[in-house]
Amino acid sequence: MVAIQKGVSDPGRVIILTAHIDSRVTDVMNATADAPGADDNGSGVALLIETARVLSHYKFPATIVYGVLSGEKQGLYGGKVLAQYAHDQGWRVEADLNNDIVGGDRGQNGVIDNTRIRLFSESTRETELAREAKQRRYEGGELDGPSRNTARYIKALAEYWIPKWRVDLIYRVDRFGRGSDHEAFNALGDPAVCFRESAEDYRHQHQDVRTENGVAYGDTIDHVDFEHLARVTATNAIAAAAMAWAPPPPDGLKVAGGVTPDTKLSWQPPADAQASGLAGCRVYWRDTTEAAWSHSRWVGNAAEAMLPGVVIDDWAFGVASVSKDGFESPVEYPGPQGAFWPAPEAAEEKK
Ligand SMILES: [Zn+2]
C-alpha cells in the first residue's frame, strides 16, 4: 500500500519512507497462527501513518512516498516491488528511510534505554563497479556512500530538534543474520537506511505467542513503548521534511588539488526546475577518521569552491545544497562513491 505526496516543483525527486505490514510467528510459513506483530512491524507501520498525517499538512518541492510493504518476511517482496517501480518510473530516489522494529526499549539483556535509536547504513554502494572500487580503495570514501551521509544527516537533525535523544549510527547494512526492505533499494544502487530499536528482546519477535517456564513469548502490544515510538516517528518526520524542503544534493561533484597546498571542489548546480528555491552551497570537510562533518564554509551560489591552505590528502570533503529558507540537503561526498545519483554513463554500465 503506497501513498504519494507529490512534490510541487521537483516531483521526480523522491524521499521514500517504508515499513512492512506482514507478520509471522516462529514458522515463517505458518499463515494461520495468531501473529500480532506489534513491534515487528506494527511499530513501523504506525510510525509511517503518523508521519503521513503530520507531513500531509505541508507542501514540499520534492515528493514523499509512504510505502507499507508486504512479504518482507518471505523475501523483501514489497521492498523489491517498490524499488523496481521507482526505477521503472524514472524517480530520482534521494533516500529510503526504512523502519523495522522501532517501538521497544527493553532489551533481552535487561537494558532499558528510551534515549536512543539505531540507524543502520551500508558503507559502499552495492552496485559499485570494480574500477570505482579500485579508485575508492586508494583515495577513500568507503565511509561516505550516500546511504551513510543520509544517516549522518538524520542524526544531526534529530539530535538538534529532539531533546535528550541520540541516533546511533551503525556502519552496517543491518544486524547480523537479519535484513529488511531497505536492502531492496540498496540492491538497485539507491541510498537507503534502516531504523532499529536500540534494545531488542528476541523473545518478542516472530515467536509463537505462549508462556514457557514463566517467560512470555510473542510480539504483543504490551512490549511497545509509545513515547519512545513517538520520538522515532519525529526523527523520521524531521528528516523526510528537511530533505523534501531542501534542494537536491549537487550533481557531478569532484575534488581536485593533488600535489598543491589547496583543495578545489566543483559540481553542477541543480537545474532551476529542480531547485527553484536554491540559495547556494555549503562545503564541508572533516578529518578522515572523524565520524561527523566538523568544518564547513558557505560558498554562495557557485559551481566551485577553493579552500586555500586546506590540503586534499588530509581531509574528507563534501558539499550540501541549501535553500533560501535554510533547508539543507545531505552532504554529498565527491566521486561515484559519494554520488546520490550515479552519472548516466556509469548507470548504463551497471546494467
Ligand atoms: Zn521486520
Kindly report the number of other CB atoms within 10 A of residue 335's CB atom: 19
- Quick check: bond before 41 cis, omega within 30? yes
Q: Ligand 1 mean position to 99 CA, how many Å?
A: 8
Q: Ligand 1 mean position to 74 CA, how many Å?
A: 11
Q: Ligand 1 mean position to 90 CA, how many Å?
A: 28
| Rounded-to-integer distance, Cα 184 and Cα 192, Å | 9
Fold designation for 2-245: Aminopeptidase (3.40.630)
Kindly report the number of other CB atoms within 10 A of residue 24's CB atom: 20
The cell for 97 is 528511510
User: Which residues have a Cβ under 8 Å from the Cβ of 54 and sit 6 or more positions away?
Assistant: 237
Q: Ligand 1 mean position to 39 CA, how many Å?
A: 8
Q: Ligand 1 mean position to 317 CA, how many Å?
A: 35
Q: Ligand 1 mean position to 97 CA, how many Å?
A: 14
Position 350 scores a pLDDT of: 67
| Rounded-to-integer distance, Cα 93 and Cα 279, Å | 22
Q: List, in sequence order, every residue forming a beta bridge with 322; answer none if it has no partner.
A: 280, 328
Q: In the chain, where are the structural domains located?
A: 2-245, 251-328
Instruction: Please state, in angstroms and as integers, the Cα–Cα distance from residue 22 to each residue in 38, 178, 261, 333, following that order.
Output: 11, 16, 56, 36
How many angstroms from the chain centroid is the CA of residue 106?
A: 25
Q: Ligand 1 mean position to 70 CA, how many Å?
A: 11
| Cβ–Cβ < 8 Å for 95, 189 | no
Position 85 scores a pLDDT of: 98
Q: Ligand 1 mean position to 25 CA, how many Å?
A: 12
Position 351 scores a pLDDT of: 64
Position 241 scores a pLDDT of: 98
| Cβ–Cβ < 8 Å for 189, 344 | no
Q: Ligand 1 mean position to 304 CA, how many Å?
A: 43
Model pTM above 0.75:
yes
Q: Ligand 1 mean position to 53 CA, how many Å?
A: 22
Per-residue pLDDT for the chain (351 aa), expressed as one digit of tens each? 999 999 999 999 999 999 999 999 999 889 899 999 999 999 999 999 999 999 999 999 999 999 999 999 889 999 999 999 999 999 999 999 999 999 999 999 999 999 999 999 999 999 999 999 999 999 999 999 999 999 999 999 999 999 999 999 999 999 999 999 999 999 999 999 999 999 999 999 999 999 999 999 999 999 999 999 999 999 999 999 999 999 999 999 999 999 999 999 999 988 887 887 899 999 999 999 999 999 999 999 999 999 999 999 999 999 999 999 999 999 999 999 999 998 776 667 766
User: What's the CATH number of domain 251-328, 3.40.1210.10, 3.40.920.10, 3.50.50.60, 2.60.40.10?
Assistant: 2.60.40.10
Kindly report the number of other CB atoms within 10 A of residue 85's CB atom: 13
Three-state SS for the chain is CEEEECCCCEEEEEEEEEEECCCCCCCCCCCCCCCCCHHHHHHHHHHHHHHHHHHCCCCCCEEEEEEEECCHHHHCHHHHHHHHHHHHCCCEEEEEEEECCCCCCECCCCCECCCEEEEEECCCCCCCCHHHHHHHHHHCCCCCCHHHHHHHHHHHHHHHHCCCCEEEEECCCCCCCCCCCHHHHHHCCCCEEEEEECCCCHHHCCCCCEEECCEEECCCHHHCCHHHHHHHHHHHHHHHHHHHHCCCCCEEEEEECCCCCCEEEEEECCCHHHCCCEEEEEEEEEECCCCCCCEEEEEECCCEEEECCCCHHHEEEEEEEEECCCCECCCECCCCCCCCCCCHHHHHHHC
Q: Ligand 1 mean position to 22 CA, how many Å?
A: 8
Q: Ligand 1 mean position to 270 CA, how many Å?
A: 36
Q: Ligand 1 mean position to 102 CA, how many Å?
A: 9
Q: Ligand 1 mean position to 340 CA, how many Å?
A: 26
The cell for 178 is 537479519
Q: Ligand 1 mean position to 100 CA, how many Å?
A: 5
Fold: same for 2-245 and 251-328: no
Q: Ligand 1 mean position to 329 CA, how many Å?
A: 29
